[in-house]
Amino acid sequence: MSEWSQKVLVPILEGQSPDATEVERLGGLALFSADVDKVKEYVFESTRLPEIRGASMILDKLNLGWPRSDYKQGDSRQPKNVREVFLQARLPTRYHKQDKNPDCIVYVGGGSLLALVPIALAEILKKEIEALYARETCVATITCVWQPVAADDVQKCLDDLMARQSLLLRRAKEEKDPLPFFEAIPPARRCQSCGIRPAAEPSETRPELRWLCRPCKKKVEQSKKHRGKNQWTQKFVSELLAGRLDCDPKAYLNGYEPTAQTFDSVQSADNLEEIAQASQDNKTIGFIYADGNGIGCLVEGSKTIGDYRRKSCILHRAMRQAVFTALGRHLHIAHDILREATGKHVDIHPFEIITIGGDDALLIVPGDRALDIALTLGRTFEAELSQHEEFTGRRATLSVGLVIADRRNPVYFLRTLAEDLLKSAKKRDRELAEKGQSPTEGTLDFLVLKSQTMLSRDLTDLRSHFPWTIISADPRREKAILTSRPFTWTEVKQLKRTAQAVDRGLSRAQLQALRKALRQGRLASTLFYLYQWARSDEWRKMLLRWLEEQWGIQASNTPPPWIKLEPKGKYERYATIWEDTYDVLDLVPRLSDEEWSELQEQIRREMQREVVHAG
C-alpha cells in the first residue's frame, strides 16, 4: 500500500482527520466523481431485446465489474472496468465483495462513481476513465469532475462538498462535446439493429445474418457471451435459491426442483414476444420505471464518508431486494414458450431487468402482472429503508411509471412514455409532501396503451384534451377529468379491490355504457349514473354506495360518479375513478366464488355500520 493510502486515505475511511501537512506533502486530496452520459439513449437505441440487454451488461461491467484476480497495481494491461483504472494508477480498491482492504472508491453503481484520490492523479484518472468508455462502447461517454478538498472538510462538511460536486458535474455535462459521430455516406449499408450508423460488417460470416455497426456488434457479442442471460437474472436466481427473498421459491419454480442445475436449462427471453407469451392474453408487456423521491438529497446530505457509503449500500441492497421480491412473488417460470428463431419450445424467465441502480430500476414484465409487481416493488423498497436508522424519520419513498402495451410497440417509445408517467407520479408525491400527507408511501402512474396514436403525444398533452379531459363550453368553466391518477400505494390496492368488485358485480356492457356517458360531460354522466342506480336492485345499489364511500365521493358533496378536486387556475375540477377501474379489470385476478362471497359479506357489514353510524 502506498504512503498516501496509509497516511491519508485510511484515516479518513476510519473517521479520523489526517495531518494537513502530511496530506499536502503526499500529493493532496481530491474528491472525484463520474457519471455516464445519456445512458437510456445508448441502451435503447435498438428495439431488439438482445441488444438492449447487451448494452446494459456492457455498462454494468464497466461500472460494477470487479478487477481480474491477476490485475495488480501499476499493471500495464488495458483496464476493463473503472476499478482496474484505479489499480493501474496504483490506488487501492477491492477485488471482490468480501474484500475488506481499504478502497479509495466510496461508491460505484447506477453509472455513477465517487472516490477519494491524490490531486496529482485526478486528471489522469479522468482521461483514462473517459477513454475506457469510448474504447469499450464506441459511442457511450462518461463525464468526470474533481475538486481539491481539505481532509477536515471531508470529515466535517461532506454535504457542502457534495453540493458543489453535483454542480460541477452538471456544468461539465452541459458543456460536454456532442456524442461520437459516425458518418453515414449514401452508399453505406445501414446497421440493421439501430438504423443510425453505417454497418461495419455482418455479425457472422453467413450472408443471411444481420449487418451491424461496431457499437451494436459489441452489444450482441456481450449478450451472446453470457448465453443471453442477464447478470441481474443470475443474481435473482441466486437469491431465490438461497431463500433470501420474501416469496415462495416453489411458486416461482413452477414444478422445477430448487437446484442450480435446474436453472441452467431455463433461458432468458429472446424478445418482447416471449415475455408477452407469459401474459394471460399472450400479447401485452409492462414497462416499469421506478425511481426514488428525494433519495439523492438524503445521500448527498451525509456528513461523513462513512455515512455516505453506508447510505449508498443500503439503497442499492433495498432496490435489488425489492425488485427480486416483486418478481419472485408475482411471476413463475414460463414453460413451452415458442422461440421463433429456432422453432423450438423453451422454458424462460418471463422478465427482463434492464438495470438496477442506487434508487432506480427499469424492468419489462408480462402485462397482466405488471400492476402487482409495481405495487410490491414500491412497498418493499420503502419497507426495506424503514428498517435502517439512516432513513428513519425521513421521507424516503419510491415513484413508479408503468406502461402496459402490446408487444409490437417500439420499446424506445415505451421507455419515454414510462419516464413521463414517472414524472407525473413524482409530481403527485411532491404535492403530498407539501401538504404533509402520505409521508411513508410513494406513488404510481400508469397507462394502458390501446392505440399507436397515443405514442405521438406527450402525457401532459394527452391527458389535457378529449377524451381524457372534458372542458365545459358554458359559463361554469369546469374540467371533468376522466382519471384520478397518479395513485398512492394505498390507493392502488384500493383500486385493485374496486376492479375486482366491479368485475363480479357489474356487467361489461354496463361499464361500457358508463364510460360512454362520462365522455358527454359531468352533468350528462351524473344523470346517467343516477338513472342506472335507480334501476338497480338492492345489492347493486349497495355495491355502488360502497364504492362511493371507498373513494370519498359522498364526502366531497358532489353527485356521483365525480369527485371534486381543488380548483386550478380559472377552472373548477372534477375527477372520476371509473376509467381507471376499467383499465385495470384485466390486470387483477378475478375473484373466485368463495372470495366473491366473502367480499359481498364484507360490503354488507361495512354498509350496515354506515347506516347505524348515520342514524
Query: Confidence band (pLDDT; 50, 70, 90) for 456?
Result: low
Report d(CA 176, CA 179) in Å as an integer: 9
Co-location of 272 and 319 in the same domain: yes
Note whether 268 and 230 are within 8 A (CB): yes
What is the Cα gyration radius of the chain?
Answer: 27
Nearest to 228 by CA among 366, 346, 317, 101: 346
pLDDT of residue 1: 52
Whether residue 190 is contained in a domain is answered as no
pLDDT score of 203: 58
**Which pLDDT band, with edges at 50, 70 and 90, does 210 fall under?**
confident
Q: Which residues are within 8 A (CB) of 175 and not within 5 positions of it... i.e. 6 or more apart?
A: none
Question: Secondary structure of 177-245 in the HEC alphabet?
Answer: CCCCCCCCCCCCCECCCCCCCECCEECCCCCCCCEECHHHHHHHHHHHHCCCCCHHHHHHHHHHHCCCC
Would residue 197 count as lying in a domain? no
Looking at 174, 209, 239, which one is the last position of a domain?
174
Question: How far is the CA of 229 from the CAs of 223, 241, 316, 353, in angstroms?
Answer: 7, 17, 21, 10
Identify whether residues 237 and 345 lie together within a single domain. Answer: yes
Boundary of a domain, candidates 452, 487, 509: 452
- Report which DSSP code applies to 590: P
pLDDT mean across residues, the chain: 89
Asked if 12 and 151 touch (Cβ cutoff 8 Å), the reply is yes
In a domain, 61, yes or no: yes
Is the model's pLDDT at 206 over the cut of 50? Answer: no
Instruction: Render 57-103 in DSSP notation, one character per residue.
Output: HHHHHHHHPPPPTT--TT--SPPSSHHHHHHHTT----SSTT--S--
Q: Are residues 483 and 334 in the same domain?
A: no
Does one domain contain both 127 and 157?
A: yes
Residue at which a domain ends, from 174, 191, 207: 174
pLDDT of residue 107: 93
* 133 and 252 housed in the same domain: no
474 and 448 assigned to the same domain: no
Residues 530 and 410 in one domain: no
Side-chain half-sphere of 133: how many Cα atoms within 13 Å? Answer: 27
Is residue 131 helix, strand or coil? helix
Helix (H, G, I), strand (E, B), or coil: what is residue 615? coil
Instruction: Answer yes or no: is 491 within a domain.
Output: yes
Question: What global pTM score does this model have?
Answer: 0.92
Reported as a pLDDT band with limits 50, 70 and 90, residue 588 is very high
Over residues 538-542, the mean pLDDT reads 92
Residue 459 included in any domain: no
Q: What is the pLDDT of residues 12-47, one digit of tens each?
A: 998 888 988 989 999 999 999 999 998 988 999 888
**Is residue 515 in a domain?**
yes
Mark whether 402 and 523 lie in a shared domain: no
What would the pLDDT profile of 134-183 be if each residue is shown by its tens digit? 999 999 999 999 999 999 989 888 989 999 999 999 999 999 877 677 77
pLDDT confidence band for 343 (50 / 70 / 90): confident
- Kindly state the helix (H) or strand (E) to which residue 609 belongs, with its residue range: helix 593-614
Question: Alpha-carbon distance 276 to 259, whole Å?
Answer: 26
**Residue 575 located in a structural domain:** yes
Lowest pLDDT segment from 185-199, 249-263, 278-292: 249-263
As for how many domains the chain has, the answer is 3
For β-strands 267-268 and 284-293, DSSP reports them as: unpaired
> Angle at Cα 317 formed by Cα 313 and Cα 323, nearest 5°?
150
What residues are paired with 487 via a beta bridge? 444
Q: What CATH number does residue 126 fall under?
A: 3.30.70.270
Looking at the structure, do residues 16 and 109 belong to the same domain, yes or no? Answer: yes
Nearest to 562 by CA among 547, 582, 584: 547
Residue 147 is predicted with a pLDDT of: 97
Q: How confident is the model at residue 485 (pLDDT cuts 50, 70, 90)?
A: very high
291 and 316 housed in the same domain: yes
Tell me if 192 is assigned to some domain: no
Q: Are residues 291 and 438 in the same domain?
A: yes
Specify the pLDDT at position 405. Answer: 95
Domain with 538 in it: 469-614
- One domain for residues 236 and 108: no
Q: What is the pLDDT of residues 272-291, one digit of tens each?
A: 999 999 999 999 999 999 99
Share above pLDDT 90 across residues of the chain, in percent, rounded to a whole number = 60
Q: Which of 218-222, 240-244, 257-261, 519-523 has the lowest mean pLDDT?
A: 257-261
